[in-house]
Amino acid sequence: MTESKRALVVGLAKSGIPAVKALNKMGYAVDLNDLKAEEAFIEILPTLKGCYRETLFGQHPGEVSGYQLILVSPGVPMDLPFVKDAEKAGVEIIGELELGYRLAKGKFYAITGTNGKTTTTALTGEIFKAAGRHTLVAGNIGQSVVDAAEASTEETHWITEVSSFQLESIHSFHPKISAILNVTSDHLNRHKTMGNYIDAKCRIFDNASSGDIIILNADNPETLALKERAAGTGARTILFSRLREVEDGLYCDPNSGALVVKNAENGVREVITHKSEIFIPGSHNLENALAASAIAYFAGISKEVIQSVLKSFQGVEHRIEFVAQIDDVLYYNDSKGTNPDASIKAVEAMTRPTVLIAGGMDKGSTFDELIQAFDGRIVKLVVLGETAPLIEATAGRLGFNAVERVNNMEEAVRSAASSAPAGGAVLLSPACASWDMYENFEKRGEHFKRCVNELR
């Protein structure tokens, strides 16, 4: 290993660990950096023995011009001073998604959007698997692309969930089919403006060209507005809609409820299935099903396979996940609802009088539309975390006063259980990130489920 090939890995999150091992294998002398203290990595560092040279914990790095490559985790803002200094010095800066793409073999299909990414990615992966294709589901869902790269071949179909944070640090990442499900206000504490956030999402088709396909949601104004921008790449741009017919793409017929494909290139029009046959409930899941079906269909998978999976796919953990029925009250875990728009969709899917548990890390969102979506469905609001005062104040201003502020998840679940009417429901859908109280939304959802099961 020579000193002329040095790499710095910034952020030892879930995706950082396999990246360190991969860079070491590629011949880099790897240094590690994280803002957390070294004590946080007592269990991790032994697993990386022999893969790194030096560590710097508890602070950002200073001099970075001596590196040839800096790999930043998705949680590291690209406007930090040391990142800017590295750019000026000509250091290549990439993220785990870009590194994984360089190491992987096969075709990539990428899915982004403010909401619905995980469900759509998981559903798309199940359709590809059912079609007999060698499929790896990775990215912002489950395993990282780097971690799974060794398992790929030229016949592999990568179904990847990609976030705006991951897309900020790509260079050559080039999906054969890319989809933007929707764009609503989120992560403005990181991106600062909606324009910056949309630009980050659009990087999914930065490298698209003739022969590629870009799929956009015709029902989301911000996403539909990207049609001309997408077409400028030379790729074929198709639409999906749950509200109206589209000329090229996939839609739910507003009269019959059938999911219909219209292929403008060959004039084919065919029915995939009926919306009543989709197992996962809610209008937002109809959109997810349309997007997944469009990806699969235009990747050459038969309508029979798509129909079969739509009938059986039961959704993903932490997304309106049924947890338990206790004393005629249903409990749902929607910890994946990390912004107001996602939580609105969860609230709208409730068919019983519901107690909502919300609150978490402040990402700069407002909560007016969430409160307005209650529309008689929500009978009480239990708030916790960093945003609790803001959500409570918003609810009061809008005339919803059945609000209780609590200190932790145990208190939230006990309060909700004691308040839920017979035949009602309790829904955890925080409308906020988890990082003020939990490592990630999965940990938050798991804690909620433990608290619910303790009620028994």
Task: Look at residue 179 and tell me if it is in a domain.
Answer: yes
Q: Compare 79 and 260 and report the one with higher pLDDT.
A: 260
The annotation status of 50 as a binding-site residue, yes or no, is no
Reference 110, options 74, 171, 162, 187; nearest CA is 162
Whether 294 and 234 share a structural domain: yes
Residue 12: pLDDT over 90: no
Cβ within 8 Å of residue 435, ≥6 positions away: 360, 361
Q: Give the pLDDT score at 265.
A: 94
Residue 76: per-residue pLDDT: 83
Instruction: Examine the pLDDT at 30 and tell me if it is beyond 80.
Output: yes
Would the annotation count 113 as a binding residue? yes
Q: Report the alpha-carbon angle 60-66-68, nearest 5.
A: 100
Spatial CA neighbour of 419 closest among 357, 371, 359 = 357
pLDDT of residue 1: 41
| 203 and 86 together in one domain | no
Q: Is 345 among the annotated ligand-binding positions?
A: no
8 Å CB contact between 202 and 191: no
Domain harbouring 385, CATH code: 3.90.190.20
Q: What is the pLDDT of residue 195?
A: 85
Give me the helix-helix angle, 117-130 and 283-298, nearest 10°.
40
Q: Is 300 annotated as contributing to ligand binding? A: no
CATH number at residue 145: 3.40.1190.10
Cα–Cα nearest to 427, from 362, 330, 340: 330
User: Do residue 104 and residue 184 come from a single domain?
Assistant: yes
Mean pLDDT of 5-24: 90
> Hunting for tokens 């004691």 — which residue is that?
418
Residue 192 marked in a binding site? no
Range 18-31 average pLDDT: 95
Domain for residue 356, yes or no? yes
**Pair (426, 343) in one structural domain:** yes
Q: Is 232 annotated as a binding residue?
A: no
Residue 1 lies in a domain: no
For residues 270-292, average pLDDT: 93
- Of 195-199, 325-329, 416-420, the poorest mean pLDDT is in 195-199
> What per-residue confidence (pLDDT) applies to 142?
78
Query: Which structure tokens are listed for 126?
Result: 């199940």
Number of independent structural domains in the chain: 3
Task: Tell me the residue range of the domain where 171 lies.
Answer: 98-312
CA atoms of 320 and 339, how far apart (whole Å)? 14
Judge if 296 and 402 occupy the same domain.
no
Residue 2 confidence class, pLDDT cut points 50, 70, 90: very low
- Lowest mean pLDDT across 4-18, 84-98, 215-229, 243-257: 4-18
Per residue in 349-360, pLDDT (tens digit) is 898 999 999 999
Instruction: Report if residue 267 sits inside a domain.
Output: yes
> Order of strands across the sheet with 378-383?
321-326, 329-333, 425-428, 354-358, 378-383, 403-405
Domain boundary among 90, 112, 132: 90
Would strands 6-10 and 29-34 be described as parallel, antiparallel, or unpaired? parallel
Q: What is the mean pLDDT of the chain?
A: 93
Q: Which CATH number does the domain housing residue 47 bear? A: 3.40.50.720
Q: Does 119 belong to an annotated binding site?
A: yes
Residue 384: inside a domain: yes
What pLDDT shows up at residue 186? 58
Do both 132 and 199 map to the same domain?
A: yes
Q: Is residue 235 located within the same domain as residue 371?
A: no
Q: Examine the domain organization and report whether 174 and 277 are in the same domain.
A: yes
Mean local confidence (pLDDT), 44-49: 92
Q: Tell which of 267, 284, 312 closes a domain.
A: 312
* CA distances from residue 374 to 255, 367, 377, 400, 416 in whole angstroms, order as listed: 28, 11, 5, 9, 16
What is the tens place of the pLDDT at every residue in 309-332?
Answer: 999 998 888 988 889 999 999 999
| Centroid of chain to Cα 321 | 16
Question: In this structure, are 76 and 115 located in the same domain?
Answer: no
Average pLDDT of the residues in 331-360? 94
* Percent of the chain scoring above 90 in pLDDT: 83
